[in-house]
Copies of this chain bind each other. A is one copy, B any other.
């Protein structure tokens, strides 16, 4: 007797998960699947769940599909495509009741795995490949394409979208188109002829919106090109490596001097992260826009240099693609757990400007903007993205660039200005009262404007001193500059349940917690709870953020770390009562879901309304 629950047709709302072995070429087939759905006008949010290893261990690719614009992860797998016997037991357990488990039935299934509340669909992948292909590598590769073909039949995908994609993908290598399409068809036909297609979960084409599908790291690399970066010093570390790789890729296309064929950029793979940061500081000190990208361990290693740059007031752009824990602590899982380490990086009294993108478009925009900010504020700008945004294909609004925009190079005196200056040049003089002094590039003028760069043992003219009053004055100017920064950094984004009034619930979020939070608002609305949201896009915090908190009764901060680091930063920097800020914390390394956020919010609300009820009851008694 089947335990499968009653099924009603579901259109455009499913999660498909592929269980593969890493290093077997499944990535491109899986991408093909996701991209096809994207081209069908649907919202897709593929997530790579991969091990810290190169070949042979389990890896998963999870694709959520819908037509409501939701881009967060969703719990519950509707269809598991299992091509990895290693993880099969776990994979079977993950399918939700009423779902499907698709497997390679070239070998018999281990009966102990059977569940009676899901359907098992066997595809003879290995057998088909053995019959169709001779070459071992082909057998492995096309196996993946075949199951995509089968999926097309099973969930009713538009087959022509898939074949178009194949054609696009192999532009220039046309020979490969036919065999790939053939593999797709093999899967498609097998499914068509052996199962009742489609299943109860299907997809349907929708009008395609103005979106692109791209990894955040790619967008960062492109943003650095547009932002005018000419130098990158870096050290490889997952999940940040592809930022500089993307920068290089785009530079090779767009930054080769047409006349000389020379490179209008310099990328130096450093010996470690300390050196990478040193290079970035040296280049910025010398007037070039330079950046680096790293992940947690790199932040730790760069912290002495970050402190120096803060005190010596040297621009720098640093992209931290966050991951979990130490080098041997889930380096291939996502987290937002470097917020405090970055905000207060280095010993002594330091504070750093942070920006938090949520989408590839923002990765692009904020990277480009960071170079302006760094030079305007003469301080390091740290962009905090994460593995989820950086290394997964994310749907995003397309990139934009304003023709009329020009780089804001900040307060720099050129030779002419120095020549015409009658007063003594003071590198650390607060001329304009905004805490931001003027600098000069080395080599500008034969006799004027040279200064000696060091930490804080100096006066406003950069002359060595250990005087306590000079020290204090300088430290206070740095605070003033930080205050000034508020008006330069990206403003928060606020959504309101009701345009005219504040909801009683306000949810703060940032970075990749955005998708889950915005979707959670809809879930909560379904439960009759109206919630406004405020997306933090930068530190120091704009006044609107404080206003948002003050104008909501129940406030939540959604983040992906254990210690509620953003909440700490809010409480500390805005002098807020921590009791006002409820924690919503997901930190198991998997991207946060809307359900998680909504449940956390309503749990708190129920508890507090419960205790209010109790109080009311007590008052009555």
Binding site for B on A (CB under 8 A): 51-52, 296-297, 299-301, 303-304, 307-308, 311-312, 324-333, 335, 337-338, 340-341, 344, 346-349, 351, 454-457, 466, 468-469, 471-472, 475-476, 479, 561-563, 565, 568, 571-572, 575-579, 587-590
A222 to B297, CA, bound (A): 34
A308 to B456, CA, bound (A): 31
Chain B: minimal CB distance from A322 (Å): 8
Most chain B CB within a 10 A radius of its CB, from A297, A341, A347, A571 = A347
* Cβ contact of A330, chosen from B340, B456, B476, cutoff 8 A: B456
A590 to B338, CA, bound (A): 33
Residue contact A454 to B297, C-beta cutoff 8 Å: no
- Supposing A344-B340, A347-B337, A479-B562 touch, asked if A468 and B590 sit within 8 A by C-beta, the answer is yes
Which chain B residues lie closer than 8 Å to A466 at the CB level?
51-52, 330, 332-333, 589
Which chain B residues lie closer than 8 Å to A326 at the CB level?
304, 307-308, 311-312, 346-348, 455-456
Residue contact B571 to A579, C-beta cutoff 8 Å: no
Q: List 28 A-B contacts (CB under 8 A).
A: A52-B466, A296-B347, A303-B341, A311-B325, A312-B326, A325-B348, A325-B455, A326-B348, A326-B455, A326-B456, A327-B455, A328-B454, A329-B454, A329-B456, A337-B347, A337-B349, A338-B347, A341-B347, A341-B348, A471-B587, A471-B589, A472-B587, A568-B572, A571-B571, A571-B572, A572-B572, A575-B579, A577-B579
* Cβ contact of A307, chosen from B300, B332, B587, B588, cutoff 8 A: B300
A338 to B303, CA, bound (A): 13
Q: Would you call the interface of chain A mostly helix, strand, loop, or mixed?
A: loop
Which chain B residues lie closer than 8 Å to A347 at the CB level?
296-297, 299-300, 326, 337-338, 341
Give A469's nearest chain B residue, CB to CB. Answer: B588
Give A338's nearest chain B residue, CB to CB. Answer: B347
Chain B: minimal CB distance from A320 (Å): 8
Residue contact B329 to A311, C-beta cutoff 8 Å: yes
A470 to B329, CA, bound (A): 11
Which chain B residues lie closer than 8 Å to A475 at the CB level?
562, 587
Give A573's nearest chain B residue, CB to CB. Answer: B568
Instruction: For the complex of A and B, list the 5 residue pairs with the smallest distance between their C-beta atoms, beginning with the closest.
Output: A468-B588, A329-B455, A296-B347, A329-B456, A328-B455
